[in-house]
């Protein structure tokens, strides 16, 4: 099973930025297998860097 790791850097407004990111994911990504390109777009829009 793949593992997902994430971390939030401390900074001004980091908590509210993370809350906005999760709100956007909840609103735009339906339950079930995710549309990965769409999910990556939502994450990128919220300043997330994905490392593979």
Q: What is the pLDDT of residues 1-52, one digit of tens each?
A: 556 566 666 566 666 788 889 899 999 999 999 999 999 999 999 888 887 7
**Burial of 43 (C-beta count, 10 Å sphere; 0-12/13-18/19+):** middle
pLDDT at 3: 61
pLDDT at 19: 86
Give the Cα separation of 29 and 52 in Å (integer). 21
Number of domains in the chain: 1
Which domain does 17 fall in, by range? 1-52
What long-range pairs does 16-22 form, CB within 8 A, spacing at least 24? Answer: 17/46, 17/47, 20/46, 21/46, 21/47, 21/48
């Amino acid at each position: 099973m793949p593992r997902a790791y994430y971390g939030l850097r401390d900074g001004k407004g980091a908590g509210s930025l993370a809350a906005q990111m999760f709100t956007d994911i909840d609103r735009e990504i339906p339950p079930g297998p995710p549309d990965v390109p769409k999910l990556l777009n939502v994450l990128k829009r919220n300043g997330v860097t994905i490392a593979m």
